[in-house]
Amino acid sequence: MSQRNALPKFCIALGLPDVGQLLAHARREAEAGERFLEFRLDYLSKPGDGVRAIAQFLEEYPDATLLATCRRHQNGGRFNGSIEEEIRILSACLDAGAKAVDVEIESAEHVSAKLEGLRSRAWLIVSYHNFSGTPAMEPVLRRMQKVTADAYKIVTTARKPSDNHRVLALGKAHPKVNLILLAMGETGFATRVLSPAFGGVYTYAAPSAVEGTASGQVSAKMLRNMFRVEKVTKSAKIYGVIADPVRHSISPTVHNRAFQARRLDAVYLPFLVKPIQLKDFFALAEKLPLSGFSVTIPHKQKVLRYLDAVDPLAKRIGAVNTVWKKAGRWRGTNTDAEGVTVPLGKKIRLSKSSVLLVGNGGAARGAAFALAEAGAKLTVTGRNIDRVRALAKICGGEPMTREQAVARGFDAVVHATPLGMHPHTNECFFDGVIPAEVVFDMVYNPFETQLLQRAKDQGKEVIPGFQMFMEQAVRQFEIWTGETAPRAAMERAALEALESPGTSGTSANGATNGK
């Protein structure tokens, strides 16, 4: 490769059906400050027209770096022409000013001799895509290196959490080879953030106003501002949240803002982990390695079997929402307990009060033990009376049907079910009068649930789930870092995420007691 400038860290992938739309979105990205764009010519109804688009765009933005791709449909693209036509179009793109071209390995293997003509003029990227899974990576790289190129792009599909490490590890194993390494899909999201820190030349991002060209892409703004991809170093501590679903979590927004406020070399990622994938996730956690993580639906109870030490209250609750590594051992606790007792304790004297707890799942169980330990007189209700009785028995509470509960009066109601959570915001456990003067809803998205609206209309005092979320998140940060949490910064970040859908994790919808 002749001497040429290094490529920027973010490539905005643009795949549009006509030149007008392609140029419009490219201009929008350029006006936002983005300078490295991929033009997917195979998305155009007439791919050859992309050459004119490149020339026109570079007249307007001569400092931009354009990557031209015209992937054939046999190789996961949309171009129906021959390999020779593909190479001719890419060569014309270089004539028009493109600084890089991407040729899929299946095409490159057939015309390797002709590729030197492209490579002598620009970055030649040879790419491999696997849309079904993540195979052993070393054989893939060996195959690709038989074709001389400036960089090798290997993109797989993540089916399980450990696929993230399988992809990223290739970068650490070959530090002198220019690699672009990514795993598609929500499960592979971590690779989009961590790839540059693991030696990747750059990472891909979706445009701000239209869908990207691959599953799992998010905007450059999110990668740059929330995850601070350009500032994540090889020695950065990695944290995250495990859940299914996870895209609704606002925790990445909140904890990454906290790390930024305290100037810590750390990043917090959303990890999609299916119920049957917990063991595989711990394999990823060991290898990356992770320093700690939040746990939410549906893993709070099952995660205990993978921990080396669990604090007494979390053990009694039978659920953990916070995990960290210390002295080589995975440790767990439940900060949800403080998330319940601290906000409620500001409204009532728990040891002298009666509390009606609604729910019987993991969140309710945590609240039940926390309230019982604080001395509250506890009553439990819910839709599944058998599970209600089981929870009441183990925490020393009184079980009641909904009908029995609404006929009584309590000092406070603590709602710990997903009813009313986005997107099912019209649901509410109580149809009529809420039988308490203080109403605490553990759902935090929307900020004001149907339950809280009804409570206000009935003249009750309300505690939004946001307060619980903040208490447990603050405690998590302090456990992980040993520093005082920047509460004000975390609250601002959480409110921004709740008010602006699409700005947190890979979306911004909350979950009961979610992370």
Class of residue 264 by CB neighbours under 10 A (exposed 0-12, middle 13-18, buried 19+): middle
The total number of residues shown for the chain amounts to 515
Q: Which pair of structure tokens corresponds to residue 500?
A: 């602006």
Smallest CA-to-CA distance from 216 within 185, 248, 252, 183 is with: 185
Smallest CA-to-CA distance from 326 within 305, 313, 307 is with: 307
Element (H, E) at 260: helix 251-261
Tell me the C-alpha distance between 451 and 443, whole Å.
10
Distances from the Cα of 87 to the Cαs of 73, 81, 107, 438, in angstroms? Answer: 15, 10, 9, 70
Tell me the C-alpha distance between 431 and 383, whole Å.
13
Residue written as tokens 């009641």? Answer: 400
Helix, strand, coil: what percent of the chain each, to 5?
A: 40, 20, 40
Do residues 128 and 71 lie in contact, with contact meaning Cβ atoms separated by under 8 Å? no
- The residues annotated as belonging to the active site are 300
b/e burial code for range 137-164 (CB count within 10 A of at least 16 → b): beebbeebeebebbbbbbbbbbbbbbbb
Do residues 195 and 217 lie in contact, with contact meaning Cβ atoms separated by under 8 Å? no
How many of the other CB atoms lie within 10 Å of CB of 228?
A: 17
Do residues 384 and 402 lie in contact, with contact meaning Cβ atoms separated by under 8 Å? no
Tell me the C-alpha distance between 39 and 53, whole Å.
9
Apex CA 164: angle with CA 66 and CA 493, to 5°? Answer: 75
Q: How far, rounded to the nearest angstrom, does the alpha carbon of residue 97 sit from its chain's CA centroid?
A: 36
Backbone angles phi, psi at 278, to 5 degrees: -60, -45
Tell me the C-alpha distance between 181 and 390, whole Å.
49
On the CB side of 237, how many CA atoms lie within 13 Å of its CA? 17
Distances from the Cα of 257 to the Cαs of 19, 59, 237, 486, 493, in angstroms? Answer: 38, 38, 15, 9, 7
Classify 41 as helix, strand or coil: helix
Tell me the C-alpha distance between 304 and 189, whole Å.
25
